[in-house]
Structure 1
Amino acid sequence: MPMLKTALIILFAILFFLSITALLLYRRQVRGLSEQLKDLEPGSNQRLTCSVRDRNILFLCRLVNTYIDSQQKLVLQAREAEEELKYTIASVSHDIRTPLTGASGYMQMAEKTEDPDKRKEYCRIVRGRLKDLEQLLDQLFLYTKLTSQEISLQMEPVSLFPLVCEVLTGFYGKFQEQNREPSLDFQEEAIQIQGDSSQLKRVLGNLVSNSLSYGLGTLFIVQKGNTLTFSNKVKDPGSIDPDQMFVRFYRGDPSRNASKSSHAGLGLSIARELTQAMGGKIEARLHEDILEIVLTFQGASR
């Protein structure tokens, strides 16, 4: 019995020593985690480390590191959003200032001239510049709604051929001004696609407008199956990056930066956002000096 009692005392002593040691280790680990958290800076890539190989402590450490990772992503997203906002403001302010500056200049000329014909012409130009500004603001508003997913679509079967003809009719005057013409080639004029008629019209209009602003020669519009291809020659193919054409404010062609242009580089971005929202796809290809923009629709039927 005395030996058993001695053995129990030794065992309890060892257990007490191990418990105190574990407690001290836990305490030191908690203090270490606290110090690491205190020294952790916002946006830092540093993560917590554990010296105690205890399951609960390791689990706690992983949870804290997961939370730090999520906060790091939020910090990076906030920085990206801030940079994007600065870029947007810079781009938009330039595009808004251009037609306003032009309109202001012609208004001053109209006020000074005594020639009624010149005054009438200056006023016509001012109205045109203000119309450009209105279109720009409409594009910005639509793009904002698209990127924030605030636009609702009325999906239904849409006859593609009559819609393309209607859009081209609206650009008849501009084709005449440039001594250009479109060429239509539909394999199936009765084809229908799934989409929102009004938004499809906007997509098609943006593609035609892009060709009129930056293309040369005939605008070829070819339908094959569930695809619709717009193609035309371009002035400087070396300055165009097809992979970047649908990026907001992209202006690869130097002529797009000319002060006479009222475009904000949003037309193709809006076309992409609307096409994707309707379940379709849009892509650009460059073959020597021929630019092709291909629309792929969903739900094509004959």
Structure 2
Amino acid sequence: MGINWRKYSHSVITKVIGFMLAILCFTSASSIFLNIELVHNADVSIAFEDGYYNGKDYLSDSSEVIESLRRIGNYKSEEHILNGGTLIEDRILNEEEDLFREFRYNSKSYNFNLSDEENYTKFKEVYAEKILQIRTNLIKEELNNYKATIQRLEKHQAQGLIYYAKNDETEFTNTPNKAEDYFRSFPSYMIFDGYKQEVFPQEVKENSQYNWITSNINQLGQKEVMYIAFTAEYLNPRIAEWKENKLFVTNSLYQMAGFLLVLAIAFIYLVLVIGRKPLKDHEVYLNSIDRIYNDLNIGMCVLLIASWVGAINILDHLKIYYLIFPITLLITTLVVILVLSLVKHLKNRSLIKHTLTFKIFYRLFRFINDIYNSGRVGVKVVLIVIGYPIIVAITFFMFPITIGVAAWLTLKKVKEFEAIKEGVKQVKEGDVHYTINVAGGGEFAKLASDINSITDGLYKAVENETKSERLKSELITNVSHDIRTPLTSIITYVDLLKHEKDQTKVEGYLEIIDQKSQRLKVLTENLFEAAKASSGTIAVNFETIDLVSLITQGLGELDDRIQERKLEFKTNYPRDKVYIKADGKLLWRAIENLLSNIFKYALEGSRVYIEIIDSGTGVTLIIKNISAYELNISSDELMERFKRGDESRSSQGSGLGLSIAKSLIEIQKGSFNIEIDGDLFKAIIQLNSFN
């Protein structure tokens, strides 16, 4: 059944039928649309209008009447215009400025050596007649506009329009009855008196284009009055015409919708089956038309569409509408054939490759790329030596420009070489900060970039060496201080014990010696643990751990220390358990180091925030607290061994906690970072989630 259906749907006859349906439906839909727009001069939007008063026709006529009455109010009378009463000085000045620009660019009398004021004086002498003519021309223009406005009003009056307008002391009307109630007696009216606006019927205000009227009314003065009435004689033929147009447009749109639906089905069918044969599933078959390059194909489609638009305009101008269908049918047939050819190339994945532009640029690129990939500057120089005379010969009529361009390019390359030479000299003399600035992507630019990379590496090496020496010095100083302090105390009190006879003091001395020895023991163990962690010799036993449970249990065990420091822990965990892949003992040791750091350095009575974020691919643990000491140190320096937040080193910390925590997290394939913002200390641990 499937094979028979495919054989039928992919047959030549079925394709021809689909093709004919597509072009006929498109041609019919286009002809109907053009028939609406050109032959009947109808607006398609009329099909969606609820009534004549809600449509564009009523508002267009009303707006034209209001605009005409408003203009007449400004013109007042023909005598007023002839006396220049409607002229605005700014308009006269603008016309005069236009003449001055014409004088500047076209007149030989304009002198660039003189000032604008002097030239303007000269302009008034040369263009005296034209300047005098400005006022006359503007008055003629205003008079023509006034007469045209009167004619438009007379046309509406002959069809049944009644109006009354008053502007200052001037009245314009075609009825002796000026009462508002008289105008309200008609089927449709508009009354505007200052800020008062009364329109009937009310659905006029519901029209989406009502702003056409209000935009003109808003220009009326507070004392201006305008009454307009539309008689039944005026409205009835317009309403009948509106109903006839609406019926015609609505039926035409239904016909267009039917044709477009069939067109869509036929075109989709053609897109699916074009280039395929009944018993071949994947291969796309091309014909002689498909040999046309796709960019030329697209250009031909654009040209055909432009020709169709031009032909329709000519036919509309000549009023020869019966030729629209055959011309549209012919051009649609050609365009559909070309478009289906593009569809076949799209299926064949050759839409871009089968273009004349692609082939030209591809071959040019291959040629240039082959020369560039030769990798030898000598070859490029030879090509320049050979190519330049050829270019000069071809452009012999402009050889001075060609020689000038060559000289400029040569000078530019020489300057680039000198810049590189100077840069190498500066670096050789020890200026590792020197940067060679050579723009572009040529050989010299690449050489300069390579030299800059060498100087950057040299600068970083010197900087790292300096930093390393500084850290070594600080490390020795800090270790010496931290070890010497308890050791000195032990030696001092041992010496006191040798000569002390009072048993009470002896016990006190022994207690101090015990405290200092324990301090020395902790310091030694931390130092050993830090060395072991950084060397990576600690065995790691990866297992699945619930991070939430680990932290909750740990905080419970440390509750005494939390209460002692009066710290308030705020936690933000996901609702579900968060499983990670890590070593439980090593992970807790790292977290415990951070918590110990908080107990030692956090501001007493402050809050500590612990947040766990599960992103799916990894888990982030964030611990934040407020330091009791001023953190006037960078996060990088704080990570160094024997560095403390209190520079006075008066606390009991060893300065190894963060370094040990970082090493322990890293050997578990995680990352450890800290951030400092004022007195806010923030530790960020990122671990691998359990998949």
Structure 1 length normalisation: TM-score?
A: 0.62
Structure 1: distance between partners of 2:677 and 2:530: 29
Structure 2: distance between partners of 1:204 and 1:238: 21
Contact 2:602 2:625 in 1 (8 A): yes
Q: Deviations over 1:25-51 (max 9, x none)?
A: xxxxxxxxxxxxxxxxxxxx9xxxxxx
The structural deviation recorded for 1:154 is 0.9
The structural deviation recorded for 1:231 is 0.9
Match status 1:186 vs 2:573: yes
Alignment counterpart, residue 135 of structure 1, candidates 522, 526, 545 = 522
The structural deviation recorded for 1:196 is 1.1
Match status 1:144 vs 2:531: yes
Structure 1: distance between partners of 2:491 and 2:563: 29
Structure 1: distance between partners of 2:527 and 2:591: 18
Who is 2:609 aligned against? Answer: 220
Larger relative contact order, structure 1 or 2 (CA cutoff 8 Å, min sep 6): 1
Q: Deviations over 1:146-190 (max 9, x none)?
A: 222222211111222232234334433333332334333322462
Who is 2:53 aligned against? Answer: none
The structural deviation recorded for 1:120 is 5.0
Structure (1/2) with the larger strand percentage: 1
Structure 2: distance between partners of 1:155 and 1:114: 57
Structure 1: distance between partners of 2:681 and 2:672: 13
Alignment counterpart, residue 197 of structure 1, candidates 571, 581, 584 = 584
Who is 1:273 aligned against? Answer: 663
- Larger Rg: 1 or 2? 2
Structure 1: distance between partners of 2:470 and 2:631: 28
Q: Secondary structure at the match of 1:265?
A: coil
Gapped runs of 5+ residues in structure 2? 1-429, 431-463
Q: Deviations over 1:248-269 (max 9, x none)?
A: 22234325x12xx332311101
Who is 1:177 aligned against? Answer: 564
Structure 2: distance between partners of 1:142 and 1:103: 24
Structure 2: distance between partners of 1:218 and 1:107: 43
Match status 1:282 vs 2:675: no
Who is 1:74 aligned against? Answer: none
Structure 2: distance between partners of 1:106 and 1:184: 46
Who is 1:230 aligned against? Answer: 623
Aligned residues: 227
Structure 2: distance between partners of 1:184 and 1:105: 47
The structural deviation recorded for 1:79 is 10
Q: Deviations over 1:58-114 (max 9, x none)?
A: xxxxxxxxxxxxxxxxxxx99998886665443322211222233444556677484
The structural deviation recorded for 1:207 is 0.3
Contact 2:625 2:680 in 1 (8 A): yes
Contact 2:600 2:652 in 1 (8 A): no
Contact 2:638 2:645 in 1 (8 A): yes
Structure 2: distance between partners of 1:211 and 1:140: 20
Contact 2:581 2:688 in 1 (8 A): yes
Query: Superposed, which structure 2 residues align to 1:25-40 within 5 Å?
Result: none
Contact 2:475 2:641 in 1 (8 A): no
Structure 1: distance between partners of 2:545 and 2:623: 19
Structure 2: distance between partners of 1:78 and 1:233: 34
Contact 2:644 2:653 in 1 (8 A): no
The structural deviation recorded for 1:241 is 1.5
Match status 1:246 vs 2:639: yes
Contact 2:627 2:680 in 1 (8 A): yes
Contact 2:631 2:676 in 1 (8 A): no
Percent identical residues: 28
Who is 1:94 aligned against? Answer: 481
Q: Secondary structure at the match of 1:297?
A: strand
Query: Superposed, which structure 2 residues align to 1:32-111 within 5 Å?
Result: 87-105=474-492
Q: Deviations over 1:95-152 (max 9, x none)?
A: 1122223344455667748474x65555444333322222211111122122222222
The structural deviation recorded for 1:274 is 1.2
Alignment counterpart, residue 263 of structure 1, candidates 649, 653, 656 = 653
Structure 1: distance between partners of 2:528 and 2:514: 21
Match status 1:206 vs 2:599: no
Q: Secondary structure at the match of 1:248?
A: coil
Amino acid aligned to 1:246: M
Alignment counterpart, residue 540 of structure 2, candidates 142, 146, 153 = 153
Contact 1:240 1:253 in 2 (8 A): no
Structure (1/2) with the larger helix percentage: 2
Contact 2:631 2:645 in 1 (8 A): no
Amino acid aligned to 1:182: F
Q: Secondary structure at the match of 1:232?
A: strand
The structural deviation recorded for 1:237 is 4.2
Contact 1:248 1:265 in 2 (8 A): yes
The structural deviation recorded for 1:220 is 1.9
Q: Secondary structure at the match of 1:268?
A: helix
Who is 2:684 aligned against? Answer: 294
Structure 1: distance between partners of 2:602 and 2:489: 25
Amino acid aligned to 1:290: L
Match status 1:167 vs 2:554: yes
Amino acid aligned to 2:532: K
Amino acid aligned to 1:200: L
Gapped runs of 5+ residues in structure 1? 1-44, 46-76
Contact 2:545 2:580 in 1 (8 A): yes
Distance 1:197 1:114, change over 3 A: same
Distance 1:253 1:262, change over 3 A: closer
Q: Deviations over 1:177-229 (max 9, x none)?
A: 32334333322462121111111111011100111111112222222221111
Structure 1: distance between partners of 2:644 and 2:544: 34
Contact 1:284 1:293 in 2 (8 A): yes
Distance 1:105 1:218, change over 3 A: farther
Who is 2:402 aligned against? Answer: none
Structure 1: distance between partners of 2:679 and 2:470: 34
Structure 2 length normalisation: TM-score?
A: 0.29
Who is 1:69 aligned against? Answer: none
Structure 1: distance between partners of 2:609 and 2:554: 14
Structure 2: distance between partners of 1:248 and 1:242: 12
Amino acid aligned to 1:272: K
Structure 2: distance between partners of 1:149 and 1:174: 31
Distance 1:165 1:101, change over 3 A: farther
Distance 1:113 1:215, change over 3 A: farther
Amino acid aligned to 1:299: S
